[in-house]
Structure 1
Amino acid sequence: MKLSLVISTLGRTSDLNNLFESLAAQTFDDFEVIVVDQNDDDRLAAFIRPDWGFPLRRIHTPRQRGLSRGRNAGWRQAQGDAVLFPDDDCWYPADFLSTGMRLLEELGADIVTGRAADMNGRSINGRFEKTRQQITRKNVFTTQIEWVAFFRRDILHAVGGYDEDIGVGASTPFQACEGQDIVLRALPCGAKAFYDPDLFGHHADITKARPDRASIKKARGYARGLGRVLRLHEYSTTSLMMWLARPLAKMPFNMVCGRFKKTVELGNIFLGRVEGYWAPVTLTKSAAE
């Protein structure tokens, strides 16, 4: 079974080098790489070289923005039976692709997901389940991260790919949780989806004890995405209350410890989840503030 890796990128070059080096070291080699280049300039032209050791194509879509839009442009031209969507600043252990493809086959799965980890295998950038399990509406928010998710291409066709109004760079305020959204749309189509914590990739730890203004703004946009997906998939207000309670519960401790910027970030996460959930369901475009 052939694999296609679709990388939507904007504004990065050196991070792509780290990713490509990790791909060149993979024990699984039946894959192609498609780079969807959303840069207005031609900065990546010289970077797309034949000497990486794997098939590599570039789709240049200047003036188009949005991670979900770029992923859709890429997988629709993919030749693989399965598709993976690496972030442009992640990298993988040498057995990552072989593990993901093996799990797809062994589990008879349409979707296989894993987690983000540091170099010691410790989970980062989210809460993840500790045991292998089938993905359901109940655990979908703790059983995946977008760049550690393998899809059979047939299921991408069945659901029409990613919702381009959700995700980083979208023209709406809903800047995250496009991965949960696509899985939630796939499950009613009969998709079999499984999570395995032994499947993990690497990324910088984005958690900051003293977040700056840009980090706080990003956290609010991500929180709006979570609220939006909860609403679109008709999660109850009780579920929303659970997600709102988490940042609220952490605020007093951070305030007492003098972590005022972290407290502000938590407050923005709370507000963002409320904003995303209660935004009009028919909203498709808005300024991403």
Structure 2
Amino acid sequence: MKFSLILATVGRSDEVARLLASLDAQDYRNFELIVVDQNKDDRLLPILASYREKFSIRHVRSVAHGASRARNVGLGLADGDVISFPDDDCWYPPGLLQKVVTVLDSHPELDGITGRFTDGDGRTEGRWLESSMLLNRYNVWRGAIEFSIFLHRRVVDAVGPFNELLGVGAGTVWGAAEGTDYLLRSLRHGFKLKFLVDLTLHHPVKTTDFDAVACSRQKKYETGIGHVMRINDYPLWYFPATCLRTCVGILLAVAKGDFPKARFKYVSVLARMQGWRG
């Protein structure tokens, strides 16, 4: 079973080096790394050169910006049996690829698996599913993030490219949820996907406080989430139900005097509504 790992990257060097070091530490070696480079300079060349003799690396340039566009370039080059999309600031724990192979080999009924992430010290963000389970259109929001998705080739052959209007760098206000959109389209094709609570990857925790930077980032994320809900035809009752929990969080934060957190959640609700309106 061969992996094609499609890495969309721009603006990062040290983080890419960390990812490559974690790939070199994997005991399962049947993988290729497809680096879709959107940098205007050659910052990655010395990093990639130091690993070319250790595992297969394909380095291509992409003038079109955006994570979804870069991943689509990579999909056109991938020849692996399992496709994944590592972020350029994530890293793999030892034994991850072998674990994915073991699960997929022992469960041929599964078309793909997903996991969660910590920052390496056990910290995470978001509300993850509490146990392993098959994904559906309602729990998928708590069961995957782009870099934790591992799909059999048959899935990407059927589903096709990412929606290039979604995600970081897309040039639209919909700055996230392209991976969830891809999984929702996979589910509509009838593919069976499972979240594994013990499949853990590593990624920095971005929201450590609720300052203006966090609010700006959250606005892009939530606008994308709202839009993906709308374009995937969620029932009208579902959207206000998803907002209700956040609204309760606003009230609780105000009651505790945590006004930065209340503002963060208020921004989240407004942005999600903007995305839903399209």
Q: Deviations over 1:104-157 (max 9, x none)?
A: 2222222110111233555x1221112221111121111111101101122112
Note the 1:140-289 alignment, pairs <5 A: 140-209=140-209, 211-279=210-278
Q: Which residue number in structure 2 is paired with residue 110 of structure 1?
A: 111
**Aligned counterparts of 1:33 and 1:105: Cα–Cα separation in 2:** 21
Secondary structure in 1 matching 2:128: coil
Deviation per CA, 1:34-89, whole angstroms, max 9, x where unpaired?
11111122221222115361111211113x21111111111210121111110100
Gaps of 5+ in 2: none
Residues 146, 56 of structure 1: CA spacing in aligned structure 2 closer, same or farther, 3 A cutoff? same
Aligned-partner Cα distance in 2 for 1:131–1:267:
29
Q: Output the amino acid matched with 1:160.
A: G
- Does the residue aligned with 1:17 lie in a helix, a strand or coil? helix
Partner of 1:78: 78
Report how far residue 260 of structure 1 moved.
2.6
- Structure 1, unpaired ranges of 5+: 280-289
State the Cα deviation string for residues 211-236 of structure 1 (Å, max 9, x = none).
Answer: 33222111011101111111111112
Partner of 1:31: 31
Q: Distance in 2 between matches of 1:110 and 1:90?
A: 23
Q: Distance in 2 between matches of 1:260 and 1:125?
A: 19
Q: How many angstroms apart in 1 are the aligned matches of 2:188 and 2:215?
A: 35
Kept after mapping to 2: 8 A contact 1:176/1:222? yes
Q: Name the residue aligned to 1:69.
A: 69
* 2:71 is the alignment partner of 1:57: no
* Distance in 2 (alpha carbons) for counterparts of 1:19 and 1:46: 15
Mapped to 2, the partners of 1:105 and 1:75 lie a distance apart of: 23
Provide, for residues 189-240 of structure 1, a one-character-per-residue CA deviation record: whole Å limited to 9, x for no partner.
121111111111011112223x332221110111011111111111122211
In the superposition, the TM-score normalised over structure 1's length comes to 0.91
Aligned partners of 1:2, 1:134: CA distance in 2, in Å?
A: 24
Q: Which amino acid aligns with 1:72?
A: N
Is 1:11 the counterpart of 2:36? The answer is no
Partner AA of 1:89 in structure 2? D
**Aligned residues: CA RMSD:** 1.5
Aligned partner letter, 1:69:
R
1:86-108 alpha-carbon deviations (Å, 9 max, x no partner): 01001111111111122222222
**Distance of 2:187 and 2:82 partners within structure 1:** 17
Deviation for aligned residue 1:24: 0.7
Shift of the alpha carbon at 1:274?
0.4
3-state SS of paired residue (1:48): helix
Work out the number of aligned pairs and report it. Answer: 276
2-structure distance, mates of 1:116, 1:156: 23
Look up the equivalent residue of 2:90 and give its one-letter code.
C
Q: Deviations over 1:147-183 (max 9, x none)?
A: 0110112211211121111111112111111111111
Letter in structure 1 aligned against 2:227: R
Q: Which range moved further: 157-166 or 113-122? A: 113-122
**1:283 aligned partner:** none
Cα distance between partner residues in 1 of 2:241 and 2:88: 32
Q: 1:48 to 1:118 in 2, by over 3 A?
A: closer
Q: What secondary structure, in the 3-state scheme, does the structure 1 residue paired with 2:45 have? A: coil
